[in-house]
Amino acid sequence: MITMDTIIKDPNEILRTKCEKVSLPLSVEDKDLLEKMLKYVRDSRNEELAEKYNLMPAVGIAAPQVGVNKQMTIVSVEEHDANSEQVTLYEYALVNPVIVSKSEKKCALSNGEGCLSITAPHEGYVYRSMRIKVKAYDYLTDQQITLSASGYLAIVIQHEIDHLNGILFYDHIHESDPWLEDENAILI
């Protein structure tokens, strides 16, 4: 079981390592890991389970965060309407994901980003592409997919793919002015 006790923390060097491609079809070991990662993300949003098993709320997790140097990540984002009722759940278990196109338009979370693997504070805007297109194998649908994402979902996917390339969110924060505003970017 994955818990906050087993999640790899910065500055562990595996978080800075470019992950290896995964052979398809998936091995039993790789499927098992994806299932455990998915369980963590789903359970982390249940307050009772999160407290019982020492889980921090998450919308994604990547294999290097659990000590596995493979291109695998989970993304699970709920999109809510104006009344804060769940509208759509975007959930993927991406293997060998590649961003094939991205918009010039940028966006960032207004409060900055966080990460299960980073305990030290790193405040500031993390500018990312507003829209992306990703090709990957999706374990949940058992097929190669091309997905288009924008806004918050695009931010989460880019954050997770960064993990697979040894990049952490604070690498994107402006060094001398962390809250430097980009007038052409959208804050979410």
Q: Which residues are catalytic?
A: 160
Distance (Å) of CA 6 to CA 96, 112, 136, 170 = 23, 25, 27, 22
Side by side, the strands of the sheet bearing 186-187 are 128-129, 106-108, 186-187
Q: Is residue 115 within 8 Å of 172, Cβ to Cβ? A: no
Give the 3-state secondary structure of residue 154.
helix
186 Cβ neighbours under 8 A, 6+ residues apart: 105, 106, 107, 108, 130, 151
Q: Is residue 166 within 8 Å of 17, Cβ to Cβ? A: yes
Q: Is residue 63 within 8 Å of 33, Cβ to Cβ? A: yes
